[in-house]
Amino acid sequence: MKEKYICLTGLIFIMLLCFCACEKPGTVQPGKIQLGVAYYNQNDTFLSQLNECLKDQLDRLETDNFEVIMTTRDAAGSQRTQDDQVKELIDAGCNVLCVNLADRTDPSEIIDLARENDVPIIFFNREPVAEDMMQWDKLYYVGADAQLSGILQGELAADAIRSDKKTDRNKDGKIQYVVLEGEPGHQDAIIRTESAVNTLKKGGIQLEKLSCGIANWNRSQAQNRMLQMISQHQNQIELVLANNDDMALGAIDAYEKLNYTESALPVFFGIDGTDAGLQAVLDGKMTATVYNDKEGQAQAMAELAAAVVTGKGMEEIEFVNGRYIYLSYYKADKEHADAFVK
């Protein structure tokens, strides 16, 4: 009898052990997503519009028995601040994170924190370098194909130049241009500039680069850079290529401030298709922009967040190299901009 009793307690003990082992995070399907979203800078126009899309997408995931909570943090450009914010988000119980790195070359601290607490990270918009993505197998990236955005911008500019001979205002057979660039070191700045310029050249457009200014994606910085470039090059600038819409709008602001007449203006090209960018295209102030698919990116982030938390639906997601999701870009000239306005 006594032996039987010992045997039974032993069995219960083993069963309990097994049960506890099965309780590891990830294997039990949680009833909620608690998503922490860390932004490098929430004043950034494109990202603030992306954030609205993300809220919409998360609302869609919510059901009576599946709760979705989203908490956002703004690092105001500092990686140190962001590291602390990620720690707070994890301490507050987030079971998945979306991180828009302040410094895309410095994610180690965040990766260590996430790994120690087994909280998967979906990086977005600011792509970590490949070696960092290999630090842990629960790291993902959602973004867009930077090269494509430059190619599309270059094609739009080449078409506009070919179809309107007046673009070459001094009639020297070349297009004198300036570039407004985003943050140095950002994948979307370097690659967009290179591929836009190469595409124009391949399209048979003779180019002469007059100048280049860094304006960190920012409209008022772009206005200042543009005012400097105008004063250096007087009426010579025929084309302004901007790495994003806010900087193209800043360049337009500069010319408006100086009261340039329409016939003396260069042509302007942006990327993003922000609300103000699309409006400027429809108004004929910006020749064209390239639509950065924030709806698609937000949807991919929300679906991936749900999949990593619940363990369901991962097979249906199409990854590049197992971890990356890249959304496409679309041309938005005056004829097509309407289709992107909400």
Give contact residues for Ca ion (rule: CB under 5 A): 168, 170, 172, 174
Please give the Cα distance from 53 to 297 (Å, whole number). Answer: 9
Bridge partner list, 331: 290
Q: Which does 168 bind (CB under 5 to 8 A by kind): ligand GAL, Ca ion, none?
A: Ca ion
Check binding of 127 to ligand GAL (CB under 6 A): no
The label of the residue with tokens 């250096």 reads: 232
Q: How far is the CB of 156 from ligand GAL (least distance, A)?
A: 15
Count of residues in contact with ligand GAL, rule CB under 6 A: 12
Q: Which does 295 bind (CB under 5 to 8 A by kind): ligand GAL, Ca ion, none?
A: none
Distance of CA 249 to the CA centre of its chain: 19
Check binding of 295 to ligand GAL (CB under 6 A): no
Q: How far is the CB of 228 from ligand GAL (least distance, A)?
A: 21
Contact of 178 with 143, CB cutoff 8 Å: no
**What strands lie across the sheet with 96-99, from one edge to the other?**
67-74, 32-39, 96-99, 121-124, 139-144, 324-327
Check binding of 47 to ligand GAL (CB under 6 A): yes
3-state DSSP helix/strand/coil percent for the chain, to nearest 5?
50, 20, 30
Check binding of 38 to ligand GAL (CB under 6 A): no
Q: Of 164 and 172, which CB lies nearer to Ca ion in the complex structure? A: 172
Q: Of 144 and 306, which CB lies nearer to ligand GAL in the complex structure? A: 144
DSSP letter, residue 171? -
Q: Of 204 and 322, which CB lies nearer to Ca ion in the complex structure? A: 204
The label of the residue with tokens 């007449």 reads: 261
* Site of interaction with ligand GAL (CB under 6 A): 44, 46-47, 125-126, 186, 188, 217, 244, 271-272, 292
